[in-house]
Structure 1
Amino acid sequence: MYRILLTLLGVIAMTLSASAGFVSPSQMGTGALLLKTNEPGKYVEAPRVATDFDITITGPIARTRLTQHFRNPTNGWIEGTYVFPLPENAAVDTLKMVIGERIIMGDIKERREAKQIYEEAKAKGQKVALLDQERPNIFTNQVANIGPNETIVIQIEYQEAIRQSGGLFALRVPTVVAPRYVPDPRIVVSENAQFYTVKDSVLDRDRIMPPVLDPRKSAPVNPLTLTVHLNPGFALGDVQSSFHDVTAEALANGAKRIALSNPEFADRDFELTWKPLPGAEPQIGLFAESINGSDYALAYVTPQVQPATEKRQPRDVVFVIDNSGSMGGPSMSQAKASLIYALDRLDPMDRFNVVRFDDTMDILFPDTVEASRDNVQTAKSFVGRLEASGGTEMIPPLRAALRDARPDDRTTLRQVVFITDGAIANEQEMFDVLSMMRGRSRVFMVGIGSAPNSFLMTRAAELGRGAYAMIGEGGQVEDRMRELFAKLENPAVTNLKAEFDQAQAEVTPSPLPDVYQGEPVMVLMKMPDRKGMLKLRAEVAGRDWTLALPLDKAEKGEGIAKLWARRKIDDAEVAQTMGTITPEEADKRILALALEHHLVSRVSSLVAVDKTPARQPGEKLTRAEIPLNLPAGWDYDKVFGTEQSAPPVLERDAKLDVTLIAMTKNPVSAQKDAIKTVDLPPTATPSELLMLLGALFTLLALIFALFARRARLA
């Protein structure tokens, strides 16, 4: 009898373990990525993702198809959550879920409605994918009901405008979301101290902080392939990949096919730059398309801004350098080299100061000081001693840099040069401070490292009426800083206006921003009829500049309507930050644009549902966040702390859900305790376990009754 009971218990235990996809380290080969559960010695093998980028560049527009392969290596059912980056100006308009030979297209919905559709489909056992925007450059892809040992393919398509500056064209493809510093909520006390409120500047912290692997203890994940079909519309000169080895193949009409030489892992940005052959430089571009009875046009013009011939105006410059933990390794060296270069470019007539910050802050001088040899040398010594450590409290140094002791001084140009990787989660708080305090200052951002926060760089430069530069390795410091200082030291094209003599057009960006030496004026337009002239007017070094373009002469383009709508969404976000419209009005404008043009935004999502149920009722569904690589060159301990100094894991009871739910940010290898987990709190009754126990006791009762009956008959 006891043998029968032990056998039954063993069968039930094996059934539970198998349904959850449990394994033990001894069952797995080396390199397996295991997720720890609360069952002693039992783990769940992590879902895997592989990524492919296929990019077609035609003139000033890039169209990208991003393919993500989600593989469930377990013998249970999986829901995978993957946080990934896209370019900050990407117009994301397509979601496809590929299951075998079938393709399920995603629909654009208001975000809450899309989430409800996803949850209902997940509960019914249907395969379903949901694409959300968390930041303009951070997205979340959730895929539910991936079957045992099954692979689901998700395809996302987007387009973007190519960046141009100083005759150099560039495409930057982010591949990994860098860990973000999330400030703690703050307690705000009322003036009369009668009550207080808790202000949290990062309400979505759980959605943008996926688990990150320690590269010393875990093999890299997310293999990456990438191909670029480059047809810029002019004779190509030099083409370079900044951070990856590539192969280049010549195609017809002077185009090129560029691909990674070998599969890489997603741990750094991909950057491709190209130049036209001498004499083939495009100075003016005008493209148009017609969609749903409206004409859309894109114009770009590079004004010939002559360097200042007269003695330039003195500058009042505040340099801000980030020496937080995320800047450890090569990033700190690049940041220090950038600042040393900037200090060497100062003239004795300039004034300057230096602010450094992590989760503390130092201001070198009480106020800006003359750029004398002694003061510059003092600053260089100060910069040379900096080491990376601590958190990234960016708001206090920004306030310090924008605080202007001479706000009415018109004899100097006041500039702020902010050097950082931008690894923060409270970007909007920074934008709010910048819009309130910028005054006469112009803010120039220098993005550092292998995976800088490009959204922070571009939006801060826009709000600060400045420009930005990206530095991904030490060899780029001098060239990128020289280009940036050409903008700081020469007159900008200001007071830009777009006028139409016949057409009635909606123009974006609105208002048109200032542009600097080598930068194009880029204007996106929507109009009922494309007729008449577009006249661009501006001031350059106090002189009027005018250019007229015949709209009916535009070349045929594709995707311009999407770019126009995406930029109009940015306009609404900027207007809300500047306080010219309310948050409610911003949401209304963004949602209308997103639904009309089928775009993902912070208030709209794409959801794709397979109508055929796959997971049967009663089969367990495991939810797991897919871990990310640490960006190349980052120091894990400086970001997360050592194991001894790390905060204790928040213990939550997951015994009622035997599958892994989430992970902490201190992962280790499968051979050494696998990835540590954060378990969910008990929020429901243990219904499945109780049902299993009930069935067991019922079976035991029947066995005992059978034996009792036999005893009576005997």
Structure 2
Amino acid sequence: MQVVAEMISVEGGGVPLQDVRVEGEIRDLMVEITTTQTYRNTESAVIEAVYTFPLPLDAVLLSLSVTLDERTLSGAVVAAAEAEERYEEAITDGDAAILLQQIGPGLYSMNVGNLQPGEVARVQFSYGLLPRWQGNELRLALPTTLAPRYGDPAAAGLAPHQQPEYSLLESLRFSLSLRVSGLLAEAAIDSPSHTVSIRPDGEGRRVELAAGRAELDRDFVLSFSYNEAQPASARYDRDGSGYVALASFKPDFGGVRDETPRSRIIVIDCSGSMTGDSIAQTRAALKRILGALRPQDRFELLSFGSQYRQWFGELVPVTEDTLARALAQVQALQADMGGTELGQALEAAYRLSGQGTAPADILLITDGEVWDRKGILQRARTSGTRLFTVGVGAAVAEDTVRQLAETTGGACELVSPNEDMAGKIYRHFLRMDSPRAEAVRLEWPATAREQFPASIDRLYSGDTLHVFAWFDEPPEGEVRLTYTLPGGRTITQPAGIVPPATDPADAQETSPEMASTLARLGVAAVLKACDDPDVGQARATQYQLISPWTHYLVVEIRAEADKAGELPELRKVPQMLAAGWGGLGSVQGLVHLSSAPIIASADMCLYEDSLEADLEPAGLESIAARTLVDALNALPESYYVPRLKLESLEDLVDLSLPPVVIDALADLVDAGYPEADVVVAYLYLVATGPSGNGLKREARRAIVVACKRHEMVLGLIEEVRSVLPYTPS
């Protein structure tokens, strides 16, 4: 029997998302992923499950199907307005319906309507994407959760039922299996985010989660490293009566740098969402960056949250004094500046970039967790300043950081915990000095009737360049990328074009809706640059591609006796908080083993007399809660697995809880409440308060499970809160 820990929705019912399975194939520089989400209605009411979830920014949805009991139905891409109308009609008619919408770059909403009591729906969708090089690594990141974002999701176009909500108490897990073949099968493969097993699989390799399953609380990151120059690749396939080809390159200028003086403006996110892993890694990276500043440069740093702060007030020269002053502030840097007013901070940076005559670049370090992307991107386009962005954390908002870089002609680097952040930031910083290649051209072996992008206006060392082209005849042979560096040096990179598995002479002409994955990836790239809704909708429908103008829809017309007799109750699937977000646990160190007993040192002890003499109640509650959280985090795993082993007031005394708290809890025990229930209720208050954000996950889970097992605890929580001299915070 499989036991599933059911998550509880904000509406109060059980959230029916029971399982997520990820399978995929990585062939050369093309990735195809299939995700299966299993929904089960465990309630007595008809429900509509809504799940807002992320996918890679460059993902192209290729198919959607749903299995209801033993019946499998395939989805169709329909114009957005028509899809929504047909979905609502099906719901009100009592029929089953699935609606998959793209509600923003890399952001999707799954609606599973009229799921009847006991019914199971397995929703399967597949997508393709082209990964990007970062230095000598090709990095594949599959997001699994949305970290909380600053601002109003409604302003970003999300309807109330699509706006994400979060669960601190329960977990949802996924399984993963990826096959690697072609060029990348020879690379060194590693995952900085998860412990994985890698084994031979025919001529390729198989990557799976070592533990079989993992929580949906961080991006799954897979890196492929080459010690030698990365090979270019190219392939072609059928597209209707013609052919489509993809060429992928990573230009390497061989360490050539632009030595002209520049202004360096470093903008650092110190909002609350950066607490924990992200700000700790940022401090380490900034020390390396300061050491890389050149004598001919000028620089300034800005930290921001709800407000921004300029460290010097102007661009200053690189001297021993300015570097020492900056380093001192780096040492004290904390994520304690409130919200994420990214737009205000960038506006201040743009004003700085206008000082002096040297060209200016901005290095932005952030998790990108803001909803107001549109306004920020529009202003960046007109700034005239390149942004080099670094997205840090376990669940980076890639849409924000990557589009800021691409919009301004800069570059983006994503770094997750357990990666060499300082090294990656340093390498990214050096990219700011990369000269721009000139006279960039692509030479195909046949005449292309269309190419995207049509021209290559910007090319820097380390960029990932994907170019699609369409032909009337098979483009057999070699494609060449040629560019010229400042000083006149010309570089040519060739790539042999791999034909499809089926001989082109034998391949049948395909209709757009049956087009190859390569053809649909190419059309999707063109659609991203399309600003004509009518053209975009027509082509997306023709090639069955989800887009801002089209949705995926599945409807099952049910027999009259099987129709839902009432409107469904809404059940949102809550997100898990990203590991390390806001100080909630940590991703650093994938395996933590400890068997040492806790020793309460003298400086950990809190005494009622000294605290009450020197602190206001707010200070007392904060110190007591933080001290208890630190003590709980120091306990070995055996205190929490298989069950919580803190059930007496004496246990709390050993954890240095102030006597004033112990006395208040003892009064409840004297009044007849079970001692174990009182202890668990107090621990629950601490775990779910602000200070509990720093509590390690196994401690939090053990407390929640204990709360569920002690039937009286839920009713006791308010009693405990009322007798305390302060509320845990």
Category of TM-score, reference length = shorter chain:
0.7 to 0.9
Distance 1:159 1:353 in 2: 41
Query: Residue 397 of structure 1 corresponds to which residue in structure 2?
Result: 345
For 1:640-672, what per-residue CA distance to the aligned partner results, in whole angstroms no more than 9, with x for missing partners?
xxxx99xxxxxxxxxxxxxxxxxxx99997958
Structure 1 counterpart SS, 2:547: coil
- How far has the Cα of 1:530 moved from its partner? 4.1
Query: Residue 483 of structure 2 corresponds to which residue in structure 1?
Result: 538
Aligned CA distance change for structure 1 residues 335 and 323 (closer, same or farther; 3 Å): same
Question: Is contact 2:96–2:555 with CA below 8 Å preserved after alignment?
Answer: yes
Distance 2:149 2:353 in 1: 33
Query: Residue 699 of structure 1 corresponds to which residue in structure 2?
Result: none
Distance 1:98 1:169 in 2: 35
Distance 1:534 1:138 in 2: 34
Query: Residue 53 of structure 1 corresponds to which residue in structure 2?
Result: 22
Distance 1:137 1:203 in 2: 14
1:69 equivalent in alignment to 2:38:
yes
- How far has the Cα of 1:160 moved from its partner? 0.3
Question: Is contact 2:46–2:566 with CA below 8 Å preserved after alignment?
Answer: yes
- How far has the Cα of 1:541 moved from its partner? 2.8
- How far has the Cα of 1:294 moved from its partner? 2.4
Structure 2 counterpart SS, 1:255: strand
- How far has the Cα of 1:395 moved from its partner? 0.7
> Of the two structures, which has the highest relative contact order with CA contacts closer than 8 Å and spacing of 6 or more?
1
Aligned CA distance change for structure 1 residues 255 and 392 (closer, same or farther; 3 Å): same
Pick the structure with more helix per residue.
Answer: 2
The one of 163, 168, 174 equivalent to 2:143 is 174
Aligned CA distance change for structure 1 residues 100 and 545 (closer, same or farther; 3 Å): farther
Structure 2 counterpart SS, 1:56: strand
The one of 257, 261, 286 equivalent to 2:211 is 261
Distance 2:35 2:366 in 1: 28
For 1:8-45, what per-residue CA distance to the aligned partner results, in whole angstroms no more than 9, with x for missing partners?
xxxxxxxxxxxxxxxxxxxxx996544576xxxxx533
1:219 equivalent in alignment to 2:166:
no
Task: Point out where structure 1 has 5 or more consecutive residues left out of the alignment.
Answer: 1-28, 38-42, 185-199, 573-584, 639-643, 646-664, 675-714
Identity of aligned residues (%): 24
The one of 264, 272, 277 equivalent to 2:222 is 272
1:564 equivalent in alignment to 2:510:
no
Query: Residue 433 of structure 1 corresponds to which residue in structure 2?
Result: 379
1:204 equivalent in alignment to 2:154:
no
Query: Residue 12 of structure 1 corresponds to which residue in structure 2?
Result: none
Query: Pairwise CA RMSD of aligned residues?
Result: 3.1
1:504 equivalent in alignment to 2:432:
no
Distance 1:125 1:460 in 2: 44
Query: Residue 289 of structure 2 corresponds to which residue in structure 1?
Result: 342
Query: Residue 625 of structure 1 corresponds to which residue in structure 2?
Result: 572
Query: Residue 706 of structure 1 corresponds to which residue in structure 2?
Result: none
1:587 equivalent in alignment to 2:533:
yes
Question: Is contact 1:129–1:142 with CA below 8 Å preserved after alignment?
Answer: yes
Structure 2 counterpart SS, 1:379: helix
Question: Is contact 1:493–1:538 with CA below 8 Å preserved after alignment?
Answer: yes
Question: Is contact 2:27–2:184 with CA below 8 Å preserved after alignment?
Answer: no
Question: Is contact 1:201–1:429 with CA below 8 Å preserved after alignment?
Answer: no
Question: Is contact 1:228–1:259 with CA below 8 Å preserved after alignment?
Answer: no
1:597 equivalent in alignment to 2:551:
no
Aligned CA distance change for structure 1 residues 323 and 69 (closer, same or farther; 3 Å): same
Distance 2:159 2:555 in 1: 27
Question: Is contact 1:503–1:530 with CA below 8 Å preserved after alignment?
Answer: no
Aligned CA distance change for structure 1 residues 77 and 560 (closer, same or farther; 3 Å): same
Aligned CA distance change for structure 1 residues 70 and 510 (closer, same or farther; 3 Å): farther
- How far has the Cα of 1:343 moved from its partner? 1.4
- How far has the Cα of 1:178 moved from its partner? 1.4
- How far has the Cα of 1:510 moved from its partner? 5.0
TM-score for the superposition, normalised by structure 2: 0.73
Q: Which amino acid aligns with 2:170?
A: A
Query: Residue 588 of structure 2 corresponds to which residue in structure 1?
Result: none
Question: Is contact 1:54–1:228 with CA below 8 Å preserved after alignment?
Answer: yes
Structure 2 counterpart SS, 1:543: coil
For 1:534-566, what per-residue CA distance to the aligned partner results, in whole angstroms no more than 9, with x for missing partners?
554433234363648698x54337622122112
Deviates more, 1:152-161 or 1:523-532: 523-532
Question: Is contact 1:95–1:154 with CA below 8 Å preserved after alignment?
Answer: yes
Distance 1:555 1:204 in 2: 42
Question: Is contact 1:87–1:173 with CA below 8 Å preserved after alignment?
Answer: yes
Distance 1:457 1:376 in 2: 27
Structure 2 counterpart SS, 1:76: coil
Structure 2 counterpart SS, 1:175: coil
Q: Which amino acid aligns with 2:248?
A: Y
Aligned CA distance change for structure 1 residues 611 and 234 (closer, same or farther; 3 Å): same
The one of 232, 250, 255 equivalent to 2:200 is 250
Q: Which amino acid aligns with 1:144?
A: G
Q: Which amino acid aligns with 1:264?
A: A
- How far has the Cα of 1:571 moved from its partner? 1.9
For 1:261-303, what per-residue CA distance to the aligned partner results, in whole angstroms no more than 9, with x for missing partners?
3311100000111234x56x55331210112112111112333
Distance 2:549 2:439 in 1: 32
Pick the structure with more strand per residue.
Answer: 1
Superposition pairs of residues 630-709 of structure 1, within 5 angstroms? 630-635=577-582
For 1:120-146, what per-residue CA distance to the aligned partner results, in whole angstroms no more than 9, with x for missing partners?
111122111100011121100000111
- How far has the Cα of 1:55 moved from its partner? 1.2
Superposition pairs of residues 389-538 of structure 1, within 5 angstroms? 389=336, 390-403=338-351, 406=354, 409=357, 412-437=358-383, 439=384, 441-473=385-417, 475-494=419-438, 496-498=440-442, 503-512=447-456, 514-531=458-475, 536-538=481-483
- How far has the Cα of 1:620 moved from its partner? 4.9
For 1:473-496, what per-residue CA distance to the aligned partner results, in whole angstroms no more than 9, with x for missing partners?
154212312321332233243553
For 1:442-489, what per-residue CA distance to the aligned partner results, in whole angstroms no more than 9, with x for missing partners?
210100100001111221111121111112115421231232133223
Question: Is contact 2:47–2:568 with CA below 8 Å preserved after alignment?
Answer: yes
Aligned CA distance change for structure 1 residues 493 and 592 (closer, same or farther; 3 Å): farther
Distance 1:586 1:378 in 2: 51
Question: Is contact 2:76–2:553 with CA below 8 Å preserved after alignment?
Answer: yes
For 1:340-367, what per-residue CA distance to the aligned partner results, in whole angstroms no more than 9, with x for missing partners?
2211211221111111111111112232
Question: Is contact 1:231–1:256 with CA below 8 Å preserved after alignment?
Answer: no
For 1:174-195, what per-residue CA distance to the aligned partner results, in whole angstroms no more than 9, with x for missing partners?
00011111159xxxxxxxxxxx
The one of 225, 249, 253 equivalent to 1:301 is 249
